[in-house]
Chain A
């Protein structure tokens, strides 16, 4: 970053956006002195936070003013029990026990965590963990709360509840909140200021409306507003002027003749049930994946999405039958299944350990005992926009590039079925659109893709068919224009703006008009 000037008013909510790797976290860490005191590196200029100087005082001097919630809640927990964890910073400050108990009770009550205060953190769901992390920050009664991608692991429902809670806290406790987030659509209505970091290392900051006008990659609602020349931009579907609804009502409803032929399922489950530690996760699931389709799977945290994908590649034992190209897979192990199925797990970091990007995909080829020409592999990597990163260390790449490297590593042997579990975690709009291009290309080649995601807008862009999972059972299996318009939890912004149409992405609108 270079020559940045910023001013944030107290008790406001600031949204920090920018493509991955643009320095959002670095900027946020300057506020409590982690940069440069913890990270190293050099810094010049001045920072002032409520009469403190983070550069001079370091994190030590700002612990009571600024609380920071990091990207991955799992890696910031010190203790194993919820209330112990929340008490950690108070113990460090040497606050008396009576005061500590009072403050912790208050935070637990406010955040609705009282029931789980004695629980082990490892037994909590993703949403609960995120809440515990935020509670441990709030218990300090800070003046500034910084949240680094707080909702990236949460389903839309939990994410909304959490964001609403943060908004509530902000007004109640006069908190100054800074949130970095990729999925802007949720936060726009609440944000006072946007700080946008461009890939060139410049910064655009100002009131929400004015910054939105300068941004290239915007959420669907702003895309639609631009398309229809609505200014100032409406930030929630409700704010959209109704006149547009009328203007398009006459046009024929969007038709989707994408009904996939299910005559030849490449992958099929019949009455598949799984349970983990005696707890049933999937309950007699019947699932089919057809040739040449993109099937999108949605469902709340804990509904069994990941378990379903693990079951399909044989990582999770199950009852019932799974057929791969019509053959029962009972006798096949994961290592056999992956010859035909490319599977990208939630944490792609696990897949990457080679010295270079090129080595990474060579390893897969060697594992499958396939012969290759290096030139072919380089050409293959070019599809992913990685041809200039061949010799780089995969773990040093940006989130999006790392994801694509992992994707290349599981598909280099050209499997006909590809299963992706939450591939857009931590990805910006740019990365998402390049991923969607790859997936569409593969689908058109006749491969079958099963995409598990919380990201409704991303799903709507790609889906040929949608599967909704609810507590281990399939609650819906059908066309996207029904899934994204009829189920309140999964409605896209486009569908909310035009409730009488079948439109689910901004693309649908331009097709018709």
Chain B
């Protein structure tokens, strides 16, 4: 599986699953699956340390989020400790329930983080920026350049640090590190100027940079309004069959507007992605799972997905189908080698 679209669908599926469940067992299972998939891809990309970096982040997230929730939310029936009441905000009982609730939040943030990390691993910078519609090419280019520049800025920082050492700077106190900033800033600016000079002389300005037409503007405003009203309605607990179509219409309008605006540009792309059977198959499965999960969730037919530790702790329900749905995320491993650059 290597098509950008398949991977984006995969991401949407992962996010859908993460956001529809609050069952800690499902979430943990999802994170495990994601880590497994991540290690699988990281190995192909010769990316060492991927697992350790992600686990480090996950653990930090779990600790912070459970501590914050436990300290600031004082509901729940199983009291662990009582902090003096006059302590601002944290004063009161620290309950097991709020600790668990915080942990669930940590798992959700963690699952989202790991899913995005996998996308980062699976897709190249170029594939990612191609997701930005052609009408916004200057933005897409800026993003590309920023992402390409990050490693080089790191290297520059190292060189400048060495230059400081050479000048006898001990680099031990914070004050010693200040001289690093200025040269880094200056040299980044100098680089930016030479890059833009190079881009100018290579025809970046030749294409009309897409003057926004009135129609584009109107449809974008309309789309924003639709999406915003869907969100407002969801705050008032309107049923899904009203809200979801609104989101779909708004999103569709944005897509159509950008696609039609991009058509007017004369730029072409050197790399074109082709759909393989594997891509088509996996995309189909992802879409079905996404739609299925959302509909079932809206109809209340996924009882084991709901869970809340409040008011008193209980064991969350589990079902085989829940695990099966989550394991769809491992599908990219089934269809085999990820050979995109």
Contacts and interface: CB of A to CB of B under 8 A. Distances in A.
Q: Real complex partners, A and B?
A: yes
A343 B187 CA distance: 21
A74 B159 CA distance: 15
B271 interface: yes
Contact of B183 (A80, A333, A350): A350
Nearest to B168: A367
Contact of B162 (A100, A345, A409): A345
Contacts of A72: 194
Interface stretch (B55-63, B195-203, B318-326): B195-203
A363 B124 CA distance: 44
- Most chain A Cβ neighbours within 10 Å, of B152, B204, B207: B204
Nearest to B148: A80
A70 B198 CA distance: 7
Interface in A124-158: 136-137, 140
Given A75-B198, A350-B160, A91 B268 contact: yes
A335 interface: yes
Interface in A61-104: 63-64, 66-68, 70, 72, 74-81, 83-84, 87-97, 100-101, 104
A343 B268 CA distance: 48
Contacts of B163: 345, 350-351
A75 B199 CA distance: 11
The prevalent SS among residues of A at the interface is: helix
Interface residues of B, number: 50
Interface string A187-213: 000000000000000000000000000
A338 B268 contact: no
Contacts of B200: 34, 38, 59
B270 A70 contact: no
Given A78-B145, A97-B270, A92 B183 contact: no
Given A34-B197, A96-B268, A349-B187, A367 B170 contact: yes
Nearest to A86: B270
Contacts of A350: 159-160, 162-163, 183, 187
A136 to B, nearest CB: 7
A416 B141 CA distance: 50
B165 interface: yes
A100 B182 CA distance: 42
A345 B200 CA distance: 31
Interface string A27-52: 00000101000100000000000000
A100 B272 CA distance: 12
Nearest to A348: B163
B182 A353 contact: yes
A155 to B, nearest CB: 21
Contacts of B269: 91, 97
A491 interface: no
Contacts of B167: 338, 351, 363-364, 367, 409-410
B125 interface: yes
B95 to A, nearest CB: 50
- Most chain A Cβ neighbours within 10 Å, of B166, B195, B268, B269: B166
B211 interface: no
A118 interface: yes
A89 B203 contact: yes
A92 B126 contact: no
Interface in B254-278: 265-272
Nearest to B181: A353
Interface in B164-222: 165-171, 179, 182-183, 186-187, 190-191, 194-207
B301 interface: no
Contact of B267 (A67, A78, A92, A343): A92
B301 to A, nearest CB: 46
A413 interface: yes
B168 A59 contact: no
B198 A84 contact: no
Nearest to A368: B168
Interface in A344-380: 345, 347, 349-353, 363-364, 367-368
A59 B195 CA distance: 15
A413 B159 CA distance: 22
B206 A345 contact: no
A496 B266 CA distance: 55
A186 interface: no
A70 B197 contact: yes
Contacts of B235: none
Nearest to A370: B168
B166 A343 contact: yes
Contact of A410 (B166, B204, B270): B166
A313 interface: yes
B185 to A, nearest CB: 10
Contact of A92 (B165, B203, B271): B203
A228 interface: no
B151 interface: yes
B270 A347 contact: no
Contacts of A437: none
B89 interface: no
B198 to A, nearest CB: 4
A313 B166 contact: yes
B315 interface: no
Contacts of B198: 68, 70, 75-76, 78
Interface in B121-158: 124-126, 141, 144-145, 148, 151-152
A338 B162 CA distance: 11
A26 interface: no
8 contacts: A34-B201, A38-B196, A75-B190, A78-B148, A91-B270, A94-B268, A343-B166, A347-B159
Given A38-B200, A80-B148, A345-B166, 11 more contacts: A60-B206, A68-B201, A74-B152, A90-B270, A92-B204, A97-B269, A97-B272, A313-B166, A315-B166, A334-B166, A335-B165
